[in-house]
Amino acid sequence: MDGRYQKDMHQIDMHEMDMFQAEAKHIDNLIQLQDPGSQCEYLLMLGMEKLPLDSLRGDRYRIGGCRTAIWVRAEKQDGRVHFSSDSDSLLVRGVLSILEELYQGRTPEAIKSHPMKFLDYISDDVIYPEIKENGLSKCYGILAHM
């Protein structure tokens, strides 16, 4: 695994462990698929597995400030964040499926303590920095600040 993402396993509590392992799996895959074409195929595969949610596609749930449309509907039940997400881009939909794997059903505190690092491993040729910063990071912010 890349040195940018090593973390002392003793610093991770049991609630965070599965989140850490899930993200580590995706980071390992992205590192192995270093060329943009392979990373595109990986994210497209994840995006095609995630069904589009037409009921979510409204201005009320749209993340502003990003040319790619990203929609997020989040609510907190029993202290845990539950959310749905979608995008008009299959590549971004693939990234959103990773977010759902990492953060679905977690507490806001757990989400805050584990900011998404896997975006750093996706080539800027695959997901443009503007989409990472103005769309996906805002999506994470919504989840972390419920």
pLDDT per residue, tens digit, the chain (146 aa), is: 455 544 444 444 545 668 889 999 999 999 999 899 999 999 999 999 987 778 888 899 999 888 899 999 999 999 999 999 999 999 999 999 999 999 999 999 999 999 999 999 999 999 999 999 999 999 999 999 98
Q: Helix or strand or coil: residue 87?
A: strand
Please tell me the CATH code under which domain 14-144 is placed: 3.90.1010.10
The whole-model pTM stands at 0.84
DSSP state of 63: P
Q: Crossing angle, helix 36-49 and helix 90-103, to 10 degrees?
A: 70
Per domain, the residue ranges of the chain are 14-144
Give the C-alpha separation, 105 to 107, whole Å: 7
Judge contact between 105 and 82, C-beta under 8 A.
Answer: yes
